[in-house]
Structure 1
Amino acid sequence: MTNNQPSNSLCLPTGAAFIAALVFFTLWLGFTLQSVVEVRVAGVDGADDKVCYFTEPDFQLRWIHSVEKQWWEEQYQRIDGSSTEGAELLLTTTYFEAFGAGTPSTEMLAPIQKPGYLGYQINEKLPRLNWVVSRLTKGEMDYGGHRFLIHQWVPDYSEVVIMPKTYDLIDRFKKDFCHELPSDGSR
């Protein structure tokens, strides 16, 4: 009669290899960095900052221009650098419905024009964006099929800082995706 139970000499190395692989995988996840775009609004005296992020490299900012009262759109790309500090944002194109004072007019026309808009190719690199939003201008962010109504998330005339960052696993657990937040600012 044969014994169908595995020998103890095989179980010990197999179990040790499984535990080592599990430890390696856990450490790998903990140290793996992910490029994101962080959206931060400073709270009073630096306390209670509102922070969210998204992982998509392309996004668009939209708002109603305060003078022309027409939509203005800017399209951006996150450019990952060779180091965690080397990332930038690239303003690729800008579109607007009305042409007025302060409107760029010396740049090349955007390769893709949108009906009802005039578009220019900008291609300007920026380390970060400082954007003041209010309910009157209806500021919003569009990325990866999501529309984040940032003007409903923050108090009027809040300065929103948008910058490329690199998050580790702990950062990703401690912060929220922007599109998962309620637009009224509640948590």
Structure 2
Amino acid sequence: MTNKQPNNLLWLSTGAACIAALVFLTLWIGVAHQSVVEVRVAIEGSDDKVCYFTDPDFQLRWIHSVEKQWWEEQYQRIEKSSTEDAMLLLTTTYFEAFGAGTPSTEPLAPIQKPGYLGYQVNEKLPSLNWVVSRLTKGEIDYTGHRFLIHQWVPDYSEVVIMPKTYGLIDRFKKDLCHELPSDGSR
């Protein structure tokens, strides 16, 4: 009879440890959040197309409709004390051609790219609304990934880019942008 008591105590301790681990894991899944940049496109008569990326730095690139030259804007996701207060910071803008309406009052960017003129902007934005088309070849570049958004959505779609916080379950329900086929198929 004495041999079974240590064995029962071992099973009881192991069971309690497993239950504690499951409770901890469940709580962690419920509260673990990750800051992301969400890309959302409302498609009339259909569900929104949504993807995200976790890198805080990204760049928008497109061909300007008048100058027919590449424009680039570099952004950073800025965290605040509250997840609802996260912002996007437009740090610099670069363009190959300089024409009417081109911003020129900001200081020159500290790093100039060959063939481009760059300005340091440092403007905080809660979100971006960006209209893309195949003619302007809009793309989002981040962490070595090039997401050709102009091939993912119909022409003249409004794309909303905003900082968000996703829980673990949200991340499973949504796709990373670079894992999506650029032609918009699923």
TM-score relative to the length of structure 1 = 0.94
Distance 2:183 2:121 in 1: 33
Residues 15-26 of structure 1 mapped to structure 2, 5 A cutoff? 15-26=15-26
Match of 1:102 in 2: 101
Match of 2:11 in 1: 11
1:168 aligns with 2:167: yes
> Which SS does the other structure have where 1:7 is aligned?
helix
Residues 47-126 of structure 1 mapped to structure 2, 5 A cutoff? 47-126=46-125
> Which SS does the other structure have where 2:181 is aligned?
coil
Match for 1:117: what amino acid?
Answer: Y
1:127 aligns with 2:113: no
Percent pairwise identity: 86
Structure 1's unaligned 5+ residue stretches are none
Distance 2:136 2:176 in 1: 23
Deviations 1:18-74 (A, max 9, x none): 2211221232022111110000000215x4100000000000000000000000000
Distance 1:9 1:90 in 2: 58
Distance 2:167 2:31 in 1: 6
Match of 1:183 in 2: 182
How far the C-alpha of 1:6 sits from its partner, in A, is 5.8
Q: How many pairs were matched up?
A: 184
Match of 2:157 in 1: 158
TM-score relative to the length of structure 2 = 0.95
Structure 2's unaligned 5+ residue stretches are none
Root mean square deviation of aligned Cα: 1.5
Distance 2:147 2:104 in 1: 29
Distance 2:52 2:172 in 1: 11
Q: Which one is further off, 60-69 or 21-30? A: 21-30
Distance 2:155 2:43 in 1: 13
Distance 2:118 2:55 in 1: 23
Distance 1:81 1:183 in 2: 32
Match for 1:112: what amino acid?
Answer: I
